[in-house]
Chains A and B, each alone.
Chain A
Amino acid sequence: MRVTAYVLIADPNFLAASLGSYYRWVDRIVLSYDRTATSWTGTPLPVAECLDVVAAVDTEGKCVHAPGDYARLDHGPLENDTYQRQAALLAASEGADWVLQLDTDEVMLSPETFFASLNRADEVGAAALEYPSRWLYARVGPGRYLEASSRLGGVAASYPGPMAVRSGTRLQLARQAAVPSYRVDFRFRNTDPANRHDAPVHEVVAESAAILHFSWVRDHDTMRRKFGWSGHTEAYSQPQVFRRWAARQLHPRRTVLTSALRGSDWFRLVDVPEPPGGEP
């Protein structure tokens, strides 16, 4: 089974850890970025800095540059997100059976488990692998994070989309595709609060084998900029989103203790060995 990957080059945070976690398992990595280093919303992106990080990781020459024109300001950011991913996915599909589509702030904790699940997904005829990630909201101390959880603090899987798809898959929205998926979770019942409680679970893996998604683990300046270039910029650019995030980072215990009282946004405090992670 031949596996390639594509990454959207935009954010240097956790990029080295992310690529390094699956580098030796893939044949080729397509680096997709806007040739003018501009985001989907027209803000500048540190593409050159990211490419320097990639060059340090790419010891075997697996990375292939695929610049394009993705800052289409007459389109919405999510539309541009899907457009750029589709172009990158098609480029990565050449000669591949499966294509990984991890974001650059997602780090595989156990590539052995991930690729065992991918092999199984391939055997049973799935067209996508939904592999659970743990969504980290903020770093509150060395090795200590606020993580999205169930209402009562249980583990919650997060699925921003399939982490791997068959080559040539047509994406619907961002990473998502309407194809038969092999779905892995942390429990025999669905643990993703955003999903139906009876969503099928085909395989169970330990939390320690998850993909760590350092989604909002950033310093304040980067976080402000990230909200500007994100595909979800419309929702994230509201001032209260940043204020709430900063306050929760400052008062993690209060955040956890009041979680059950909120209708959504549930968190728990967890220890995550560093690296990966560390000071954003």
Chain B
Amino acid sequence: MVVTCADTSPPLAECLAGLVNQEPRPAEVIVVHRRGGAEIVGLRAEFPDVRFVEFEGKTDAARNAGLARAGAEVVAFIDSDCVAQPGWLASLLENYRNPAVAAVGGRLVEPSGGTNTLIGLALPNGTLATGFDRDPGRTIQVEHLSPANASFRRESLDAAGGFGSHYAGDGGTGVTELCLRLHAGGQRICFAPGAVVRKPAADRVPPFWPDLRADYRVRRDHVLLLALVHGTSAKVVRNYLTVAVREEFDCFARMRARSGPVMADGTPRLLSRRLTAPVVVGRGLAGVTGLVAGLAVAVKANAGRKRGG
């Protein structure tokens, strides 16, 4: 069991308590943390059976670092701000009785909306359906898992070479890449609704100024993910580029809408708002730049892979 965390704040203690109280008890719990501190000393004393590994890097690289130290046949990954609910581990492990199963993930108790969406599918237009908070009532097959609540058969992880770490963002795209690779290779990935982790809802207050870097990273990482899994010239990559460019070009329509004198609810729009409307075009440009950068990295990475055989 590998726990990755960016800091060692109180949720980690709750996370570890949730893990060590699982039935069956995990063979080992490894915490890969980025910054050491006084809290670690306290946690070491509180959880003497847990191994703490300090690591500087992104989440996917941290997962690989934990994986290198894990010896179990099945390795589960959980984020430090998540708390595994009773029965989580048992639900995950139950599915590995089927030798065709390479990975099993579970449910996030985090409202994400869209109750009628399907879970964990890769769509033909290149986008990913998540819906990991939904309960389908039985174990189902999916194509990717939530990085915050995923487990893998050790041999599948080793055969795939662990998690990819080409990504600019820190959202666990390496886990998604591995899942899509396993699925493309004909291996079975399951979603077990009984394996629940409680994850705090993300802060959804929109910032006043758009985060252009985030827009760039999202597009870059997504097109890179698709190109690494399916190949740079794959149809799904072309489909995604079509969809993404179209969405980014909507920034001009959004700008026009934001520069009008009246808001959608009929109230007058502030002059400052109208004057800053062109900022949304920057988001579009950041997205398109991300697409180009992602493709460039993918071409290079795929060429390197070919050379390496």
Contact = CB atoms under 8 A, between A and B. Distances in A.
Interface stretch (A80-88, A200-208, A214-222): A200-208
B123 A202 contact: yes
B241 to A, nearest CB: 12
Place the interface of chain A in its size category: 10 to 19
Given A123-B140, A125-B140, A204 B124 contact: yes
B123 A200 contact: yes
Given A188-B239, A189-B243, A125 B119 contact: yes
Contacts of A126: 118
A182 interface: yes
Chain B binding site: helix, strand, loop or mixed by DSSP?
loop
A178 B129 CA distance: 18
Interface string B83-111: 00000000000000000000000000000
Report which residue of B117, B121, B134, B142 has the largest number of chain A beta carbons within 10 angstroms of its beta carbon. Answer: B121
Interface string A176-204: 00111110000011000000000011111
A257 B239 CA distance: 30
B116 A178 contact: yes
Interface residues of B, number: 21
A200 B122 CA distance: 11
A108 B87 CA distance: 44
B118 A203 contact: no
Report which residue of A125, A126, A201, A203 has the largest number of chain B beta carbons within 10 angstroms of its beta carbon. Answer: A125
Interface string A158-184: 000000000000000000001111100
A217 B59 CA distance: 59
B121 A201 contact: no
Contacts of B136: 125, 180
Contacts of A188: 123-125, 239
A271 B142 CA distance: 38
A124 B118 contact: yes
Given A125-B138, A188-B124, A188-B125, A181 B116 contact: yes
Given A188-B124, A200-B129, A201-B123, A180 B142 contact: no
Interface of A: 123-126, 178-182, 188-189, 200-204
21 contacts: A123-B140, A123-B141, A124-B119, A124-B120, A124-B121, A124-B140, A125-B119, A126-B118, A179-B116, A180-B116, A180-B117, A180-B118, A189-B243, A200-B117, A200-B118, A200-B129, A201-B124, A201-B125, A202-B118, A202-B129, A203-B124
